[in-house]
Amino acid sequence: MNEKKKILIVEDEVMISMWLKTQLEDEGFSICGCFASGEEAVEFVEKTKPDVILMDINLVGKITGIEAAEKIIGKTKIPIIFMSGYEEPEIIERVHETKPVAFLTKPVEIWNLKLIFESIFY
């Protein structure tokens, strides 16, 4: 892995966001941003093209992670991995309509993320 892949974390819980950032950096990945709102994520993606997005469903702001993902995939082909504590069928159905790379339930295991990233990047 010569070039570090840029990962965007979109998570409203600061402790989880910081934990993910630290763990992923320890695994050799580059975190290009951490945001708590879907609006910030959409704006950031338009300016800085990350290699993959880790997206929570419940976010701060007016739009959900699913709505942010819909806006992002309407403009880019950036792979999105959803993570959530919610497993209701209607939420999972909406998530799958966006064709994510994966849907992980919290708490997220770093080794699961690492395997998914490796399948995307290599």
pLDDT band at 1 (very low <50, low <70, confident <90, very high): very low
Residue 91, pLDDT > 50, answer yes
Amino acid 60: pLDDT? 96
And the tokens for 88? 């209701």
Classify 36 as helix, strand or coil.
coil
Cα–Cα distance, 14 to 19 (Å, whole number): 8
And the tokens for 29? 């990945």
CB 20 within 8 A of CB 44: no
Q: Summarize the confidence of residues 100-121 as an average pLDDT.
A: 93
Question: How confident is the model over 36-90, as pLDDT tens digits?
Answer: 999 999 999 999 999 999 999 999 999 999 999 999 998 999 999 999 988 889 9
pLDDT band at 16 (very low <50, low <70, confident <90, very high): very high
Asked if the 6-121 domain carries CATH number 2.60.120.330, the reply is: no
What's the predicted TM-score (pTM) here?
A: 0.94
Please provide the average confidence, as pLDDT, over all residues in the chain.
94
pLDDT band at 122 (very low <50, low <70, confident <90, very high): confident
Residue 15, pLDDT > 80, answer yes
